[in-house]
Every structure is written in C-alpha cells, then in structure tokens.
Structure 1
C-alpha cells in the first residue's frame, strides 16, 4: 500500500496540512509513517490519485487541529450550533460553546475562527497541485479525468464555503463587488489580496462546470467521492445562494435522479450508513482510523458513551418541533421527555426534553453501539435536493410545479400529509421550515439564515441563557454574520488582505 504523509504550506505560510491517504479499498488501515515530497506526489498519476484520496480523508479526520476540528465535519457542527435550532441544554465539557455564543467568529485570533480558513485553504492547496500536475503525467485518461474532475469539485466546494463564512452574503441583482476571499488558482505562495465575491462565485461556477464535464459518465468507487450527481448538487447549492432559481431547480432535480427517498424505518435507524438510497455524498470513518472523541458522532449522536454526550446531548428547538405533527417521522427521532426508551440509556445520561436520536453511533459491524463513535456522515442527500427544487421553483414563480415536488417529499416523511394549502410567502415559509427540521444537525442553519438575510432568534425557545451567555438575537445584516479574517492571514499578507468590519 502506498501512503503519503506530505506537509504542504497554506496559502500564506499560516499552517501545515498533513495529507494522509491510502488505497480506497482499505481506507488507510495502516498508520501513515512514510513521507514524500510534493515532487513525489506529482511524479505519477497513481500518486496524484493517492493525494486526492487524502483530501477525502481530510474531510472527516482531524489533522493539525484540536479535538472536534475534524475536517469539514467540524465545520458542519459550527454552522448548526450558531443557529437557533440546535440547542445545548448545558455547557457539558465546553466543546463548541464559544462558537454557540458567537465569540469565535468575532475574534480574529481565535483558533475556532482560524480552523475553517485553515482547513479549506489546505484542501485548495492540494487541489491546485493536482490540477497543475495531472495533465503532464502519463496514465489512463479516464483516471486522469476523474482525478482532475474531483480536484475541480473540491476547489469549488472549498471556495464556496469560505466565501459564505468569511465574506458578506451574496445579493442577487447587485454587483457583489464587496471583498470575498483570496482567490488562488495556482500553487504559488506570494501574498494576494481578496477577490470580490462575484469573482469568487464566477470561479466556483467555472470549476463546477469543468468538474461536471470531466466526471460525466464515469463511475465512482463509493459515495465518499465526487461524481456528476454530487457536482450537480453543489451547483444547485451555489445557484440557490446566488438567487439563480431556475438553475437551482434544474440542478437539484438532476442531482437526485437515482437517489430515492428513504423509508420511515430507515429514517429512524440513526443516519449512520451511507449505503442508504437517499445519500448522494457521504463519508465512512472506520474503526482502525477512528478519532474516537473527535468524530462527528462523538458530538452529534445520542448514544455515544462520552462526557460530552452524557452531559450535553443535542436538543432540538422546541418551537420548531411543535410545528410538525407526530405522524411526521422527523419528530419521531426526537424525545419530548428526553427518555429515549428505545435506546435504554443508563442513568449516567442526562435526560433533557427534545433531545434528538437522529444520529446514532455504531460499531464496526454497523450495529448501534454506545461504546464507539463510528457512523457514516451525510454531506448531501436527495432530501436536500427536493427542498432546494421546491424552494427555487416557488421563488421562480412556478408554484404549481413546486407543490408537486414538495408534496411528494413531505408525503414520504408524513404518510398522512394531504398536501399544502398555503401559497405565496406562506408556502415558501412552509418549505423553509421543513428544511430546518430535515437538515437539522447537517451543517446548514447558519448559512441558511445568512443567505436568506434573516436574524438569529433564539427567544421563546428552550435555549438556556447560562449556556448561550444570553445571546438570543442577532439582527439580519449584522456585521457578526461575516466572520473576521484570521489575524495570522492579515499579518502574513503584507497588507494586501483587508480585515472585515471589526
């Protein structure tokens, strides 16, 4: 087995990102002990493919960061705890509490603020190396296309996330000339200024189109990798943010083809198996490379036996819960009493009302197990695409078409649903409320509030003031919606990177 442990500098020398990788069949079952230079990585198509596989592993495995900062999965948690729908009933052992209090995003020297910036630019750095080297190596053209197609998808995904977090919101119909993020499309290290938001989105869309062209008609090894459908899903997300609703609806519909909605029984099984028919893109941590207390399930599952889960289980906003009937399967993974009788949790687990068992950890055989923090991680599901399509069609003045999509989706989640009777803005609100419950815990809420220009409103719900530090409201458009640029980047940029409003 070939393994690479390559230290690659970030765009301005801010940090180091390790690439740990292996052949796909065994998901790195050995420790990465061999090292190779960038020259070795770029010397063959096989090595470039290994580097690409390392990028996928980086998405869920902690590199040079703190516990809980496990690639993109840690960012997913950030994006939900900064919203109003994921509730902390206690501080537990303080993981993610400063993020929940909106303290990290306003502190330019915070490690929490630095971590997403560091992670995504580290991935971009590797993608740029792959994209530069792959055309110049010999090898099977299909594999070359797949390696380049995935690298383009990674770069687009990372810039899309960076711009949503560290720049102001995209506003359709305007120039969007406000500062975005530094847009580096090569493997150089010289300091560069921030490109405009429009320039970044133009690059993101260009990369996605290139990725789709290269990956179309090509099979992937498993759901952890990009294929044409995943790329279409990313295109749908980007188009929705940009207010290009006709495109968003089309891309979302195309992305979900072949991915049927799960049954109600599957919905209640723990969101831990990426072989589920509905999952378009997801990751599968394995026992031999488990990060244990750092894994996604170590924070988001109801059953993992850790101090974090026992003391501070993840709770659903009770006001959100109350908007859905008990016949909706999405309410059936939430325990209003907090007891969770089906899990037989011991007395050491704190029982808070409205805790969720949407996510359940499993052991290596896939059996629900509170002694491990394993469990596959959803990054894109057909449900999201249904909801994007319904929202986009409604906002594109195609409400009858939208209702066909939304009713089909909702009937799956609630067999007694008879169809929406709402119209106009009330109907769009119904879609968005459904999206809140459906995607709870999957890393969307902060980003949705920002793109919709809505306030953070935790008032009247089951939030605990001692946990939130009395942060209950953040107005729409407040400067805090735009995370500061890490001070280390400002310092290293030789004055080229300008800080956001302090």
Structure 2
C-alpha cells in the first residue's frame, strides 16, 4: 500500500507541476519513489500530459499563421508574441514563464530515462517489458527531435556544428548530460528510434502510445530532414506496406464546427497522438491562416471547407483540428508519410511513382480530382511541397521544419514578412533566428 501511495503521489505531483522548481522538488526525491513492476513504468509513460505534449512556439513563428493585431500585441505570453515577430531573444530573461517548449520535452525525456533504467533493473522476463523499453526509446527520440527543431541549427551533414542541447541518458538530475554536434544529436535520435522498432507492436493499443508504425514514421521524418532520401523512402515504404488508409474528406460534415472524427471514435490516419502546448495565440478562437496560403486552396479542394471558417472581418479561422477537439494535432499520421514518400521518390528520380502516390492522396482531398498531365519532375516536386504545406497546416512544427530545410535550396528559399503596428518584421532565409535562443541560464541550471 505504501509503495502504491508513493507512486500515485509521484505521478500526481508531476502532472500538476506548474513551475520548474516544483518538478525538480519532486524529481530530487526520486530515491523515495518506488517503481518496481512493468505496470508501474507503463503507467509512468501513459502520462499523456507529459509524454504526448510537444512545443508550440514554432507554429506561431511559421509563415502560415495570421494574428489579429490586438492579439499579436497584447495576448498570451511574452514569448508567444516575440516568437510571432521573430525577436532575437523571445524569452527576454523570463524565468519559468513561456519556457515550456524547453522544459516539457526534457521532462518527457527524464520519464523515458527512468523507465529505461527500471527495465534494466528487472532480473526476470515480464510481459510488457519490451513494450515499456521500446516506448521509452521512442519517446526519448521523439522529444529530442522536437527540441532539435527549435534550439539547434538545421541539420547539415559534415558541418560539425555544436549543439546547445544536452543529451541525457540517465534520470539523475545531477548528471549534466553530454554536448555534441547537431549531426551527432540527429544520429542519437535515429539510434533510439531504430532500437524501438522491433520492441513495439505494429499498431498501438491506444493511439496515445508508441508503436512500430509510429517509430517508422519518425525515422522517415528524421531522414527527410537529414536529406537522406533513400533511407527516408525505405521507412515510408515499410510503413505504407501495413497502413495506407486515408480519410475521405468528401464524407466529412464540413459545415460542422469540428469536422474531424475524435481520437476515440477513430481518425484512421492517426498512428500516434500528440498535441502542442496550449498557447493563447494557438487557441481555437485566435488562430487564423495567412491569406496568401488560403488563396492556394482551390474551389474544389475539400480542405477549404473542412479546415476554415470565415469571419466577419474577412479573415479565416482554422477549425481543421485533426482529432475533432479544439486542441491542435502534432503527432504522426499516414497523410504525412505519403507526402514524405512522394517527395523522396521524386528526389531520387522516380518521379512517375511519386506522382501516383500524390494523386492517391489528392483523390481524398479534392472533389472531382483530375491529375495534371505532362508534369515535369521539378513541377511535381513543387506541387508535392505545396500540398504538404496545405495538408499539414498547423500540424506541430512541420512548416517550421520545412522552412528550415528548404531555405538551404535557393529554388525554395523565402523571406518571411509581417506588418504589425506600422512596423515591418522580416526573417530572411537561413537567418540565425531560425534557431530559438537557448533559454535563460537560470533555467538551464535548474534542469541539470
């Protein structure tokens, strides 16, 4: 009984932490907490508040979002407003306020390390042990990947760029972790995800849990950013050999406030659920689309009605919440894997196959879809990237990731521009502000 009470207290306190020092106070008493069974550690990883929450500031910083001026100037946290105008120091010395994009992933990584250490200590084979180990490895790779998209420079093979993110492989808060290169950090993410693949079930028991398909999807995402298209293609193909089901947008009630099926009812495209931090500027009433992107949705594009609702002021609010709730979706789904598959195919010269994959997705997204004819490989790549932007709108850091990687190619590089309160703000391609500043030193010290 004492063990169970201590364990439940540990979980409840971690879930309710609102300040980093609260979390550290709990974490420092780890020696007083007894987790002894596979079920205990599985429960730890089932804490969706921690394990299934991702950063959100990259959505605010991307070019797809439009905010009403009064919201952009006064609403939400200082870090949110600063991210919207790409301020050099979005935190401006804040301590524990608006730094969730750093602390939440590292908290999940700490949980994963606790679970891995627990599995190492078990001396007997137990049902579910592989699942816990595989899940912990997946979560560690998944959340470190999220951190890399915000706080590290974009991946560049052989660049030997230092990485300011500590890599932590133990739960001991006194262990500072190791610091390496950006390339080395991506390789570690790949190592964790590959190690998880054969330990997990093909499909998840619950969509809030990792699975083999989820790990394959993440490997495809990582290799796409690394521009290792052959490897990314391999993982998309393995994924698509088992899962190709798509939602037919023609069957959605697009006049509804929330047109998509909920997670429990069953959005068959979703393979792993995650959602970003609930920032004020991303709330259901505040989030609007950039008009330039909205103009790219053609009249027969079913997403136009499924994703947006018009406002009296002429702006378009985003209602396309993929899990049928007011929260945004930042997890993994088949639509993204098909788009990665198509992009990799065209980039390695198999552009006709790439067109077939893209057309398969488009038949579920357009009314009376007619595939283009006599399309060159360059035109097809451009169409894939445009469809990716329209399809994955406000899905986690997808757009931010694409801006970072595509800026390296002059054919796709763009300068972002916002006008706010009579001032113009710009973010040129490959600007240093595409990597968020490492949060205040006080926070770094606390998280060690």
Shared fold, TM over 0.5: yes
The CA distance in 1 between the partners of 2:195 and 2:114, in whole Å, is 17
Higher helix share: 2
Counterpart contact for 1:315–1:356, Cα < 8 Å: yes
Please state whether the residue corresponding to 2:155 is helix, strand or coil: coil
CA positional deviation for 1:378: 5.1
**Structure 1 residue ranges without an equivalent (≥5):** 21-34, 61-70, 286-293, 302-308, 340-349, 363-372, 498-502
CA 1:355–1:201 in 2, change beyond 3 Å: closer, same or farther? same
Partner of 2:268: 277
Partner of 1:440: 393
The CA distance in 1 between the partners of 2:275 and 2:62, in whole Å, is 26
Which deviates further from its counterpart, 113-122 or 266-275?
266-275
Please state whether the residue corresponding to 1:181 is helix, strand or coil: coil
Task: From 425, 431, 435, give the equivalent of 1:482.
Answer: 435
CA positional deviation for 1:222: 0.8
Task: From 237, 240, 252, give the equivalent of 2:221.
Answer: 237
Partner of 1:43: 36
Partner of 2:153: 168
Pairing 1:330–2:306 present: no
Partner of 1:224: 208
**Normalised TM-score (structure 1):** 0.74
Partner of 1:250: 234
The CA distance in 1 between the partners of 2:439 and 2:50, in whole Å, is 21
CA positional deviation for 1:415: 3.3
CA positional deviation for 1:253: 3.2
**Structure 2 residue ranges without an equivalent (≥5):** none
Partner of 2:192: 207
CA positional deviation for 1:329: 0.8
**Normalised TM-score (structure 2):** 0.82
Partner of 2:363: 411
The CA distance in 1 between the partners of 2:32 and 2:196, in whole Å, is 25
Pairing 1:122–2:107 present: yes
Partner of 1:291: none
Deviations 1:180-202 (A, max 9, x none): 52112123323345211122112
CA positional deviation for 1:375: 5.6
Counterpart contact for 1:326–1:332, Cα < 8 Å: no
Which deviates further from its counterpart, 263-272 or 112-121?
263-272
Partner of 1:3: 8
The CA distance in 1 between the partners of 2:195 and 2:92, in whole Å, is 35
1:444-455 superposed matches below 5 A: 444-453=398-407
CA 1:322–1:485 in 2, change beyond 3 Å: closer, same or farther? same
Counterpart contact for 2:63–2:290, Cα < 8 Å: yes
CA positional deviation for 1:104: 7.1
The CA distance in 2 between the partners of 1:455 and 1:284, in whole Å, is 28
Task: From 421, 430, 433, give the equivalent of 1:466.
Answer: 421
Deviations 1:357-398 (A, max 9, x none): 223997xxxxxxxxxx75684511111111111111111222
Equivalenced residue count is 416
The CA distance in 2 between the partners of 1:376 and 1:82, in whole Å, is 16
CA positional deviation for 1:328: 0.8
Counterpart contact for 2:51–2:139, Cα < 8 Å: no
